[in-house]
A = this chain, B = another copy of it.
Amino acid sequence: MVEVLVEATTRVLLKDGYEACTTNRVAEVAGVSIGSVYQYFPDKESLVLAVMERHQEQLQAAMVVRLSELANADLATAVHEMLGAMLEAQRLQPRLHRVLLEQVPRIGALRRLHELNGQYAPLVEAWLETHRDQLGITNPSVAAWVLIGAVEGVLARVLMEKPGWLELGLLQEHLTRLVLSYLQPNVRRSKR
């Protein structure tokens, strides 16, 4: 039932946008009574939150698969592949991602979205720590934080303004360069 409701909410969000995503509409699309919605979700916001979380889980799952192979790739390859994985993940449900990003009122909900993105921070930080010797950074914690913000910012822009670019390799190159040269500013690198 929870699944049915989250599914229905996603569908409504996609088809009609956040404004038109009323609890009654969700119940209708789910083929369930409105009462049942409140049996499983305390309020409207939690419905949307659940959609976000499920979406985020899917993104992560998609990335994990892609990244598991990178165990001992070199730095440049690792970054390149990781960003590729992120871009690919965006392609899973770009329209949903965009609606979530654009239309959902942030208080509460978007906050949560950022928290979800924040989950990456420790992972990235740990990774930076591990490769510290190859990197020109002094504060892995801040570096991770800055990188996540920067990549998130570019991804958000793509989604909102140039969704078509998700299909191109273009962005992956640029992001790789952004990240790599930030991490190794003094290193002369061969062009990828």
Chain A interfacial positions (CB closer than 8 Å to B): 17-19, 101-107, 110-111, 114, 118, 142-143, 145-146, 148-158, 160-162, 170-171, 174-175, 177-178, 180-182, 185-186, 188-189
Contacts of A175 in B (CB 8 A): 146
Q: Are B178 and A146 in contact (CB under 8 A)?
A: yes
What 8 A-B pairs are tightest by C-beta distance, nearest first? A153-B153, A102-B106, A150-B150, A149-B157, A149-B154, A181-B181, A181-B185, A149-B153
Query: Could you list 11 examples of A-B contacts with CB < 8 Å?
Result: A102-B107, A102-B111, A103-B105, A114-B160, A118-B161, A143-B174, A146-B174, A149-B150, A181-B181, A181-B182, A181-B185
> Shortest distance in angstroms between A63's beta carbon and chain B's nearest beta carbon?
18
Complex CA gap A142/B153 in Å reads: 14
- Copies of this chain per assembly: 4
Contacts of A151 in B (CB 8 A): 150, 153
Contacts of A156 in B (CB 8 A): 149, 153
Complex CA gap A153/B154 in Å reads: 7
Contacts of A152 in B (CB 8 A): 153, 157
Task: Report the nearest B residue to A186, measured CB to CB.
Answer: B188
